């Protein structure tokens, strides 16, 4: 598929006896592994695949299953792919390599395997003791290992022992992947390809941190990862009226002038302040159009998104949307256009 193309697979439309085999074929298109289920005759799965250039984003939900790749399979055929997984629900037990190093992952955890390494991955539902019940929910990212601008042998060694995901780029990846998943059907080919590059940049920065090999990361990769870190920080702190370029520069240990230069270079000339204002207005727009929030005063909606002065909010909203907040809400809730 081309960049930005979305493909959907659902077992619900298939005869029961064919569901597991079809799922196995779909998985095999990007993840060369054996697949087994303790209950193949009652197997259920859904997958949405979004192509981001050479990167694939896979949103999947499936009955408990086991996936494994042996030394013999690696020797027979190896596309040298990296497989990153963000677990959204359920549990995964991963055993890597000849040393049989075992890790267990729960909701919100990331892990990554390389097709050049043997692995054994068991998915299970954490809410039931029946191995055939429940679902595992996950976001997967598949991309050629050659896209990582790091020494291949160091990457392989690093993946054999697992990676921390609670700080640095490892902490940014889940939010970024979830955002991609939410926007999957709205992305055009050009922006989808660019976002695939950002995914690889964040993974590169994550791995380089653990390798202590930041010097080996190209400057453009490091800059793009920094911009994504800044955007994620902004999104998490839109509610704070004290959020400002100086605060952002301090948190990211860069100068204010470098922040402005870096951000405008990677945001089609938009300034940091303008980007903050735009995101705040988008969030306020969403709330004003929400019937469940129709009784919430407009000034409260504005303050919720970091704009405590009603006059500032009204002026910025009018400039951005050509309507007052009150008129926008009236039209949105009456079914008319809010544009």
DSSP letters for 224-279? HHHHHHHHHHHHHTTT-TT--HHHHHHHTT--HHHHHHHHHHTTTT--HHHHHHHH
Q: In the chain, what percentage of residues exceed pLDDT 70? A: 90
Q: How far is CA 74 from CA 3, 15, 99, in A?
A: 28, 33, 16
pLDDT at 28: 81
**Which residues have a Cβ under 8 Å from the Cβ of 165 and sit 6 or more positions away?**
109, 110, 171, 173, 174
Whether this model's pTM surpasses 0.75: no
First-residue to last-residue Cα distance in the chain = 34
Instruction: Determine, yes or no, domain membership for 245.
Output: no
Local confidence band at 271 (pLDDT 50, 70, 90 cut-offs): very high
Distance CA 259, CA 271 (A): 10
For residue 192, being part of any structural domain is answered with yes
Q: How many CB atoms lie within 10 A of CB 126?
A: 12
Assess whether 67 and 194 both reside in one domain: yes
User: Looking at the domain assignment, is residue 330 inside a domain?
Assistant: yes
Is pLDDT larger for residue 315 or for residue 98?
A: 315
What is the model's pLDDT at position 31? 79
* pLDDT, averaged across the chain: 85
Rg of the Cα atoms in the chain? 23
Does residue 320 register a pLDDT over 90? yes
8 A C-beta contact, residue 121 and residue 93: yes
Residues 285, 164 share a domain: no
Residues 6+ apart with CB under 8 A from 83: 30, 31, 112, 113, 114, 115, 140, 141, 142
Query: Average of pLDDT values for 141-167?
Result: 78
Same domain, 37 and 166: yes
Domain boundary pick from 166, 196, 229: 229
CA distances from 61 to 9, 31, 151 (A): 10, 16, 34
Sign of the alpha-carbon dihedral angle for 22, 26, 29, 35:
negative
9 phi/psi in degrees, rounded to 5: -130, 135
Calculate mean pLDDT across residues 47-67. Answer: 89
Last residue of a domain, one of 173, 207, 229: 229
Q: Is the residue at 246 inside a domain?
A: no
Q: Count how many Cα atoms sit within 13 Å of the Cα of residue 242 in the half-sphere of its side chain.
A: 3
Question: Which pair of tokens denotes residue 174?
Answer: 């889940």
pLDDT at site 53? 87
> Among 229, 258, 285, where does a domain finish?
229
Question: Structural domain tally of the chain?
Answer: 2
Mean pLDDT of 26-33: 81
Residue 60 counted as domain residue:
yes
Residues 282 and 223 in one domain: no
Q: Tell whether 205 and 280 lie within a shared domain.
A: no
- Domain containing residue 53: 6-229
Cβ count near 123 (within 10 Å): 23
Most confident of 64-73, 201-210, 310-319: 310-319
> Are residue 203 and residue 308 in the same domain, yes or no?
no
Please state, in angstroms and as integers, the Cα–Cα distance from residue 135 to each residue in 31, 36, 265, 329, following that order. 19, 15, 43, 39
Does residue 25 carry a pLDDT above 70? yes
Task: Judge whether 257 lies within some domain.
Answer: no
Is residue 222 domain-shared with residue 281, that is, in the same domain? no
201 shares its domain with 319: no
Within 8 A by CB and 6+ apart from 4, the residues are: 50, 51, 52, 187, 188, 189, 190, 191, 192, 193
The tens digit of pLDDT for each residue in 2-22 reads: 555 668 888 888 888 889 989
The whole-number pLDDT of residue 130 equals 58
**Is the pLDDT at 129 greater than 60, yes or no?**
no
Q: Is residue 179 part of a domain?
A: yes
Residue 267: inside a domain, yes or no? no
Tell me, yes or no, whether 77 and 154 share the same domain.
yes
pLDDT of residue 338: 41
């Amino acid at each position: 598929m081309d960049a930005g193309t979305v493909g959907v697979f659902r077992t619900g439309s298939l005869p029961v006896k064919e569901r597991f085999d079809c799922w196995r074929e779909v998985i095999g298109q990007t993840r060369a592994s054996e697949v087994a289920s303790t209950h193949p005759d009652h197997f259920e799965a859904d997958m949405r695949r979004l192509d981001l250039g050479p990167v694939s984003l896979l949103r999947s939900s499936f009955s408990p299953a086991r996936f494994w790749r042996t030394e013999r399979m690696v020797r027979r055929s190896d596309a040298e792919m990296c497989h990153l997984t963000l677990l959204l629900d359920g549990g995964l037990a991963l055993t890597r390599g000849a040393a049989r190093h075992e890790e267990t992952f729960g909701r919100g955890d990331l892990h990554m395997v390389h097709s050049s390494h043997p692995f054994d991955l068991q998915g299970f539902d954490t809410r039931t003791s029946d191995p055939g019940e429940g679902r595992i929910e996950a976001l997967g990212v598949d991309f050629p290992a050659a896209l990582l601008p790091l020494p291949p042998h160091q990457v392989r060694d690093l993946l054999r022992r697992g990676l921390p995901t609670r700080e640095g780029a490892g902490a940014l990846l889940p939010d970024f992947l979830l955002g991609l998943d939410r926007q999957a059907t709205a992305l055009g080919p050009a922006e989808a390809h660019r976002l695939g590059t950002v995914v690889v940049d964040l993974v590169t920065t994550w791995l380089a941190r653990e390798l202590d090999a930041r010097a080996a990361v190209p400057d453009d990769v490091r800059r793009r990862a920094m911009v994504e870190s800044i955007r994620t920080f902004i999104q998490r702190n839109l509610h704070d009226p004290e959020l400002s370029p100086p605060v952002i520069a301090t948190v990211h240990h860069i100068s204010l002038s470098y922040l402005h230069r870096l951000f405008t270079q990677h945001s089609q000339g938009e300034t940091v302040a303008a980007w903050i204002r735009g995101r705040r207005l988008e969030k306020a727009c969403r709330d004003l159009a929400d019937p469940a929030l129709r009784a919430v005063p407009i000034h409260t909606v504005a303050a919720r998104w970091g704009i405590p002065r009603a006059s500032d909010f009204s002026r910025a909203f009018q400039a951005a949307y050509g309507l007052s907040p009150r008129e926008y809400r009236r039209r949105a809730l009456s079914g008319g256009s809010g544009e």
